[in-house]
Amino acid sequence: MRYTPTSDGERDCTFTGCPRWTNGPGNPFCQHHHSRWTVAGRPDPVQWQADLRAKAGMRQVPHVNLARLDRGLRLEVQYGLQCRHDEANKRTTARAVTLAVKRLADAGVTSILDLDEDGWRTFFGTNRRIYEGKRLYASVSLKFVLDTRIRLQRLLIGDDPWADQYPREVWDLRLLGVAAAGLRFLRFGGIAQPWLGELARRWCRWRLAQGLTVSTVHSNLLGLTSFAARFAAHAGPAAGPEQLTRQEIESWLAGGRPAGHIGGVGRFLRDVQRHGWAPGIPGNALIFDDFPRKPASKPRWISEHLMRQLESETNLALFGNDDARLILRILIHCGLRLKDARHLPFDCVVRDNSDAPYLAWINHKIHQRAAFFPIAEDLATRIADQQTMVLARFPDGCRWLFPALKVNLDGARPMPDISFRDYLDTWLRRIRLVDEHRRPARVTAHQFRHTLGTRLINADVPQHIVQQLLDHMSPQMTAVYARLHNSTVRAHWEKAVKVNADGHTAAIPADHPLASAAWTRLSLVRAKVTLPNGYCGAPVQTDCEYANPCLDCRFFITTADFLDQHRRQRDDTDKLIDDAQAAGLSRIAERNRRTLGRLDAIITALETTGPGQVLAGGTVETLDAAS
């Protein structure tokens, strides 16, 4: 479905056949064609498009001429091209490779390995005037040269890359096959003590072999490097393991370290002592409960005002990509992390013996653990439609439910993180998401997980069930939502109208000094006794002389939740009065008239509160001047 822009700054790209839209006033093209138009010198848009179409018509089959290169260098470039073709996960244009070949010939080298990465970056950065108007292609050609250099290094290393990288002060994670986006190196040069540097290498290798993420190991190494620098400054770079005492650790902690660094050093010391890697380190050289105190985290849930806009089918129809739209639905209804949703396997829907569908997903945060979430038939149908579209694109099958749209010929890559975030941000601008004060609002993908947890707790789903559904590692993670539920219930109660046995409104000022204590105590009261037409407001230790709820009790409190019960009791009481009068039982009739009067007062007070003021569970005590 083609999106029709609605704001003054949003228009269709004027490039013929382009489905994208402009990202600001004054731009005739989308971001992609705007970059190409800018590189061309911003000529007349109409003539520029005509020239591009003419060139496309005269264009021959793309080819790269390697005749200028020596035999060895030519084989290296051919190897790089073959690897790019086989993996099919990076865009490789003939123009960019041709420029790379020209630069390699100008460099006068016999092998791409003759220069390191910094050397090639410096060489490609010189004589930019020669390549004016081709800087985009120059960047791509540099990446091709560097990528080929890494592949050649892997060939030289052979089957044991650790033997090559382990002794080095800088590990190239690409050669080890564990590189992550933005993290390509682990640096040990900041650790002055040789024995501590050896322990750091051994520990990092062991952690990577365990399957920990590169970002976690990198963060741990930063903390260990910080500790080693403080240790060297205090005890000297020649200090041995026996000098790494608890006093040294406390001295480092006194500098106010990040919790992540403290945790990394603590884990390092525990692992070293557990494996016996450094027997000379004192046994008390550990980090116990030395983490800085911080306030309890609060769930970053999305308000229902925003969720109504985000869940609107009209707004969802404006999402710019069908795959990303389905990911958004899964985030909303299942509370997955974005990484887990992007990496959903193709066959991700399973059914139990009653044919109820479940979403089978992998929790990448907890050691690739399998988890299941019950889903509605509607969502299962949408996933089946997505599977059909994926099979139409990859008839031989695909590993992922959401394969990447570009540079993914064999379906080996899932949708990138940045792609979904771009789709989400664009969509939020299109639907003009606003908060309760009409201010522009923005949400993140992970907030949908917090929102689902909050909704489940507020719907009285047991906490251990919520923990299982969201696949939390510990009850403490789910308890964050439970604390929010308690405050939510209290807020609803404070907004509801409470009526006592005399029909008078019972209110608790939110700023009363005993409000919090009263809420806690009356939560226990609610657990102690719940009446069919209200709550008992008596102290917990008070014994009740009545076997049944009595409207004459001074502790009786009720709300509009019990209005129907009061009406039925009034009708029954009215009938009892008529029967007592007919039987000549004036005393019983008089007692029931007093009850009837109280019921009339209660019903009148509750009916005047207006619709919508209903308590969603909980009770409260009267705290006023009279009490």
The predicted structure's pLDDT at residue 288: 85
* C-alpha triplet 577, 582, 586: angle, nearest 5°: 60
Quick: pLDDT tens for 249-289: 998 988 888 888 999 999 999 999 999 999 999 988 998 88
Asked if pLDDT for residue 8 goes beyond 50, the answer is: no
Distance between CA atoms of residues 431 and 434, nearest Å: 9
Q: Which two tokens stand for residue 619?
A: 């009770």
With bands split at pLDDT 50, 70 and 90, how would you rate the model's confidence at 509? low
Asked if pLDDT for residue 136 goes beyond 60, the answer is: no
The percentage of the chain sitting over the pLDDT mark of 90, rounded to a whole number, equals 36
Distance between CA atoms of residues 374 and 468, nearest Å: 11
* Least-confidence region, from 119-133, 168-182, 217-231: 119-133
Asked if pLDDT for residue 106 goes beyond 50, the answer is: yes
The predicted structure's pLDDT at residue 529: 43
Quick: pLDDT tens for 474-487: 887 777 776 666 55
Rounded mean pLDDT of the chain?
80
* Least-confidence region, from 21-25, 307-311, 551-555, 565-569: 551-555
The predicted structure's pLDDT at residue 17: 72
Those residues whose C-beta lies under 8 Å from the C-beta of residue 312, and which sit 6 or more positions away, are 431
Ordered DSSP codes for 411-453: S-SBPPHHHHHHHHHHHHHHHT-B-TTS-B----TTHHHHHHH
Return the higher-pLDDT residue of 597 and 6.
Answer: 597
Residues 313-336, mean pLDDT to the nearest whole number: 93
Return the higher-pLDDT residue of 171 and 586.
Answer: 171
Asked if pLDDT for residue 547 goes beyond 50, the answer is: no
Which of 443-447, 594-598, 620-624 is predicted most confidently? 443-447
Query: pTM for the complete prediction?
Result: 0.61
Burial of residue 444, with CB atoms counted within 10 A of its CB: 0-12 exposed, 13-18 middle, 19 or more buried: middle
SS3 499: strand
The predicted structure's pLDDT at residue 551: 62
Q: Which two tokens stand for residue 562?
A: 């019990």
The predicted structure's pLDDT at residue 186: 93
The predicted structure's pLDDT at residue 382: 96
Return the higher-pLDDT residue of 380 and 496.
Answer: 380
Quick: pLDDT tens for 388-436: 999 999 999 999 999 998 878 888 889 999 999 999 999 999 999 999 8
Residues 306-316, mean pLDDT to the nearest whole number: 93
With bands split at pLDDT 50, 70 and 90, how would you rate the model's confidence at 177? confident
The predicted structure's pLDDT at residue 515: 56
Distance between CA atoms of residues 152 and 145, nearest Å: 11
With bands split at pLDDT 50, 70 and 90, how would you rate the model's confidence at 495? low
With bands split at pLDDT 50, 70 and 90, how would you rate the model's confidence at 323? very high
Residues 33-57, mean pLDDT to the nearest whole number: 81
Asked if pLDDT for residue 131 goes beyond 50, the answer is: no
Q: Which two tokens stand for residue 587?
A: 């005393």
CB 464, CB 439: distance < 8 Å: no
The predicted structure's pLDDT at residue 3: 40
Q: What are phi and psi of 403, to 5 degrees?
A: -70, 155
Query: Nearest 10 degrees: CA dihedral of 44, 47, 53, 58?
Result: -110
The predicted structure's pLDDT at residue 340: 94
Check residue 545 and report its DSSP letter.
S
The predicted structure's pLDDT at residue 454: 87
DSSP β-ladder status, 357-363 and 498-500: unpaired
Q: Which two tokens stand for residue 130?
A: 């020669």
Asked if pLDDT for residue 222 goes beyond 80, the answer is: yes
Residues 521-529, mean pLDDT to the nearest whole number: 45
Asked if pLDDT for residue 537 goes beyond 80, the answer is: no
The predicted structure's pLDDT at residue 491: 57
Distance between CA atoms of residues 334 and 317, nearest Å: 20
Quick: pLDDT tens for 550-559: 566 655 667 7
Asked if pLDDT for residue 301 goes beyond 60, the answer is: yes
Q: Which of 512, 463, 462, 464 is nearest to 490 (CA)?
A: 512
Distance between CA atoms of residues 504 and 494, nearest Å: 16
The predicted structure's pLDDT at residue 11: 66
Asked if pLDDT for residue 610 goes beyond 60, the answer is: no
DSSP β-ladder status, 369-374 and 498-500: unpaired
Complete edge-to-edge strand list for the sheet that includes strand 357-363: 349-351, 357-363, 369-374
Distance between CA atoms of residues 266 and 287, nearest Å: 5
Q: Helix/strand/coil (H, E, C) string of 550-600? A: CCCCCCEEEEHHHHHHHHHHHHHHHHHHHHHHHCCCHHHHHHHHHHHHHHH
- CA separation (Å) from 87 to 116, 146, 247? 24, 16, 53
Distance between CA atoms of residues 525 and 80, nearest Å: 75
